[in-house]
Amino acid sequence: MNARPTLELDSLTTEAMDPRFADLDTLEIGELAALMNEADAEVPRAVRAALPQIVPALEAASERMLAGGRLVYVGAGTPGRIGVLDASECPPTFSSPPEQVFAIIAGGPAAIVDAVEGAEDDASAGAAAMDAATIGPLDTVVGIASSGRTPFVVGAVRRAGELGALAVGLSCNAGTELSGVAAHGIEVVVGPEVITGSTRLKAGTAQKLVLNMFSTIVMVRLGKTYGSLMVDVHASNDKLRERAVRIVRAIAHVDRAAAVDALQAAGQSVKVAVVMLARGLGADDARAVLAAAGGRLRAVLEAGS
């Protein structure tokens, strides 16, 4: 290995040693837990400090999603797995098709569980992944790299920009290479880790918080909620079916039996069930009304009030 990567790591705050944690291996479990909790509390503050970078990226991403674009996360190792986790939660929460929000991890699906040697060091593979995903002008690509220098991610974000996509770089250091190739560089500087260089800790938490914003806010803008209620929930198990009943009851102001009956007639679609109850329509007509309103339940209910 040449000297350049070592010198770069020496300059990264995520690789620095924090004197607070110098005697970590001598502490009792209670002390360790308190120390980690104290360190974790710094993360939301770092995210808040980055909001001036986060908000414009969210606004631009939302515009493209409203026009039919996709949200694509790209990462290697822990950031890649965090991207997979966040993307995989969108279909059950918002009934979004799997191809609308998805993640690409260096090394492919096998890397979700096992490390794939050298996969993160291949910038050309990152660029090729963008071509394979047919990334285009309506898409938003969020590259995630704690260091901000991971070649696979930098290569992917650079190529995404060349293809006309909204290129976003999310890192946990300042002045990163990733920010330099992105239209929107988001740098959540969380400082040294409890275990030096273990960026699955504070950096990983920061990345999940920011991705929570991306996947949640773009879906809210797409009309996937009514107030704070997840009206596009995919009721695929007992818990979610019960949640659907509670949501229908809360919006339509009906008893449990009416909500259950409406959901059954609506094929377990909360939105369709609510429109049926609120507007006195059959399931097919309710679906048509929703479709005409772009799937926005609030627009339908306010139009009928």
Give the Cα separation of 45 and 12 in Å (integer): 19
Q: Is position 89 annotated as part of the catalytic site?
A: yes
Q: Is position 302 annotated as part of the catalytic site?
A: no
Which of 15, 31, 89, 242 is the catalytic position? 89
Which of 120, 177, 187, 193 is the catalytic position? 120
Nearest to 83 by CA among 91, 93, 71, 92: 71
Active-site residue list: 89, 120
